[in-house]
Homo-oligomer: A and B are copies of this chain.
């Protein structure tokens, strides 16, 4: 019996385009309604409001990240796996700056769906560092570490935080390589 008009996926898709081309700040109910040729109150038939729209963007971003990281990791192990994960991370953040930003600003601790989607992305990082000889707490610290440097680089690059003169891909390559060499060096020290 229902009438079919817009659906949530289309709406999120349009919002994603806005976010990725003009920044997350540009995603308002007003601009989204304009893009979709409807009046902004009509959007409330699909989302609860602006915060809910932002949440949907974050969720969509996390799901896409999971898919792409899983694809990048298949068949890889050791250094190759970490490198593949790192480049997939960088590639996603560059291709979807608005979506990436939406993912960062979704810290609702009691949102189970969001927590689960985020957990799956983190699990990819854990998988990438598997077979590095890290156990227990050490593995958790190492995963936090790789996440920190990836997010930090991507975030500084996006906001133009680095000077322009020197190739950024080389910096990224060196950063990941240095961290991995550090992990290996520390393991050598411990194992004697």
Q: Which A residues lie at the B interface, using CB under 8 A?
A: 104-105, 107, 109, 137, 140-142, 144-145, 147-153, 155-156, 159-163, 166, 170-171, 174-175, 177-186
Min CB distance A24 to B, Å, is: 11
Q: Which residues of chain B are within 8 angstroms of A145 by Cβ–Cβ distance?
A: 149, 171, 174-175, 178
> Are A144's CB and B159's CB within 8 A?
no
Q: List 10 A-B contacts (CB under 8 A).
A: A104-B155, A104-B159, A140-B166, A141-B174, A142-B178, A144-B162, A147-B161, A148-B149, A151-B161, A178-B179
A183 to B147 CA separation, bound complex (whole angstroms): 19
Given contacts A107-B159, A149-B179, A178-B182, 10 further A-B contacts (CB under 8 A): A105-B159, A137-B166, A144-B175, A145-B171, A147-B156, A148-B156, A151-B156, A155-B155, A182-B183, A184-B185
Number of copies: 2
> Are A152's CB and B159's CB within 8 A?
no
The secondary-structure label for the interface of chain A is helix
Min CB distance A60 to B, Å, is: 18
Q: Which residues of chain B are within 8 angstroms of A182 by Cβ–Cβ distance?
A: 177-183, 185
Q: Which residues of chain B are within 8 angstroms of A153 by Cβ–Cβ distance?
A: 144, 148, 152
Min CB distance A185 to B, Å, is: 4
A118 to B141 CA separation, bound complex (whole angstroms): 30
Of B152, B170, B171, which contacts A155 at CB under 8 A?
A: B152
7 shortest A-B CB distances, which residue pairs?
Answer: A152-B152, A182-B182, A148-B152, A178-B182, A148-B153, A149-B149, A181-B182
